[in-house]
Amino acid sequence: MSGAALKDKLTAGIRAHGPVTVADYMAACLADPDAGYYITRDPFGKKGDFTTAPEVSQMFGELIGAFCLQAFKDLGAPDSFQLVELGPGRGTLMADLLRMASLRPEFVEAASLSLVETSPTLRKIQAKTLEKAPLAPAFLDRFADVPDGPLILVANEFFDALPIHQYVRTADGWRERMIGLSETGELCFGVGTARLDDTDLPPAAQTAPHGTILETQPAANAIAQEIGTRLARHGGAALIIDYGYLKTATGDTLQALYKHTHDDVLAHPGEADLTAHVNFEALARAARDGGAIPLPPLEQGEFLLRLGLLERAGALGSGKSHSVQETIRDAVERLAAPDQMGTLFKVLALSGDGRPLAPFDMPAGSQQGFTDMRGGEIG
């Protein structure tokens, strides 16, 4: 089924059953079994619609590998643990991570690798990328299917692809933003009847001008809570990297990327990548509700520098040609510079029991290594 066919399917559905929520629209565009964006294609790289950090440079996955090695050590090097990636794309991050992690054979020996991926097209690419990796992946549809045990989890640009809801401030409170049909039969935005319970909103949102948009991310929060529960029960660490904001705020962040340029969100359903910025405050709260301890998030640039991005770049470029060195320098810029991915992208670490996780700071007021943030003692 082509993108045009998905537009027809959505239009027919709206004509028959009425307008759909932004979340329903996003889910159809990204995950329709016949025409969903991720289901039907490899969207990454120059020929695709966007480039992610692991596709910019091997250094990204390698440094995350270093984080995982340290987390493994801090967990007391368990005999077995679950190594999990959510939404692995082409499998590049995991391949680079495992190359770095292989420096400690006991890490690889203890790990069972699960890739949570819904796209059959991307699963095939991930299997190929990891053909020579020291671990064979199990492919899972959902995080809930990951076997029990201590967990080390990474997710890069996964949460931004999960459906969000949007609400519009009206004279009658926050009403859900819907997608319906214009008089000429084109997809268009409108306001529905469902209301947002605004009791938890920050005061600024309570007095926002009419027309202001506010987003909620129940699908993302539900997964963060599940991860939190798992971490609290079995121990471990999770690393969530995405573009987003640290405090709940108003604003429309839904965006479409089509062949590396911004596109009208409603123009190419199923053919454009559709994402929303992640609310890290909400994500951290959900993980805490699950029982894990969120550490204060870092911006991606700071996170990578603390992990030794510059040192790694120096080692990688040493003795290489001028042009290779320049490529490495460009990659450092793209990953860490404030005007590139360095500040827009945030990194949230979740700890199972409040133990420190390098290179993150401890939550304010905690006594490093002594206090379980939920009140108990660490044994």
Helices (H), the chain: 3-17, 22-31, 37-40, 53-56, 58-74, 92-101, 105-110, 120-129, 203-206, 218-234, 280-290, 300-307, 309-317, 322-336
Window 150-179: residues binding ligand SAH (CB under 6 A): 156-158, 161-162
3-state secondary structure of 302: helix
Length reported for the chain? 379
Phi, then psi, of 29 in degrees rounded to 5: -60, -40
Q: How far apart are CA 5 and CA 11, in angstroms?
A: 10
Q: Which of residues 38 and 72 has its CB atom nearest to ligand SAH in the complex?
A: 38
CB of 140 to ligand SAH, least distance (A): 9
Of the candidates 3, 61, 65, 89, which one interacts with ligand SAH according to CB under 6 A?
89
Instruction: Name which position in 38, 167, 243, 360 contacts ligand SAH (CB under 6 A).
Output: 38
What is the distance of C-alpha 225 from the center of its chain?
14
State the minimum distance, in angstroms, from the CB of residue 154 to ligand SAH: 8
191 close to 168: Cβ distance less than 8 angstroms? yes
Establish if 87 lies at the interface with ligand SAH (CB under 6 A): yes
Residue 49 makes contact with ligand SAH by CB under 6 A = no
What is the smallest separation between the CB atom of 47 and ligand SAH, expressed in angstroms? 15
Cβ at position 354, least distance to ligand SAH in Å:
27
Distances (CA, A) of 15 to 25, 36, 43, 166, 187: 14, 20, 30, 21, 11
Q: Does 119 bind ligand SAH (CB under 6 A)?
A: yes
> Could you tell me if 151 and 82 are in contact, meaning their C-beta atoms sit under 8 angstroms apart?
yes
Cβ proximity to ligand SAH, 93 vs 191, nearer residue: 93
Q: Is 225 in the site for ligand SAH (CB under 6 A)?
A: no
Please report how close the Cβ of residue 55 comes to ligand SAH at its closest, in angstroms: 6
Nearer to ligand SAH, 53 or 168 (CB): 53
Q: Which residue is nearest to ligand SAH (CB)?
A: 87
Check binding of 117 to ligand SAH (CB under 6 A). yes
Whether the upstream peptide bond of residue 163 has omega within 30° of 0, thus cis, is no
Task: Please state, in angstroms and rounded to a whole number, the distance separating the CA atoms of residues 157 and 284.
Answer: 16
Binding-site size for ligand SAH (CB under 6 A) equals: 19
The contact set with ligand SAH (CB under 6 A) reads: 38, 44, 52, 54-55, 87-89, 93, 116-119, 122, 156-158, 161-162
